[in-house]
Every structure is written in structure tokens, then in C-alpha cells.
Amino acid sequence: MSDNAQPQLLHLVIGGELTDLEHNTFKNLDEVEIVGVFPNYATAYAAWKAKAQQTVDNAQMRYFVVHLHRLLDPEQDTKHSH
């Protein structure tokens, strides 16, 4: 990676209908939509926002941004803080 290249910080966007608004429990795991994997938070946020706006009429429908880079390399956040 060149000195100017941004590190790849993978993010996953998923969504589906929840059982209720108090918990992040999907009603049917077979129907959870995997929107995609994105190279940074900004592109993941744009995808999340687009999907959330498409389903605004369904109060039970929720989309989430999952920080995959934190799961893949849990030490990453501490490496950059030194």
C-alpha cells in the first residue's frame, strides 16, 4: 500500500424486519438482506441511508452498518491510538 492510500476498513450493511422495536432481533433470518460489503464507512453509510429511505413506510424494517474491520482485526483501534 502506498503512503497516500487509505486503509481498507470493511463495513457490512444488512437489514430486515425486526420482531419489535425494542430489540435488534430479526423476524425471519432467511429474509435478512445483505446489502453489501463496502471499503469504508462513508460508502457503507450511503448504502444504509438509501435502503433505510426505501423502507421508511415499514416501522419494523431496520438496516445496520456492521464494522467488519473491527471483527477482523480487534487490535486495529488500539494500534492507531499510539
Round to whole Å and give the CA distance between 62 and 9. Answer: 23
Would you list the domain boundaries of the chain? 11-18+29-70
Say if pTM beats, i.e. exceeds, 0.85: no
What number does CATH give the domain 11-18+29-70?
3.30.70.2400
pLDDT at 6: 74
Grade residue 28 by pLDDT with cuts at 50, 70 and 90: very high
Here the cell at position 27 is 423476524
Q: Classify residue 67 as left (phi > 0), alpha (psi -120 to 50) or beta.
A: beta
More confident residue, 74 or 12: 12
Banded model confidence at residue 48, pLDDT cuts 50, 70, 90 = very high
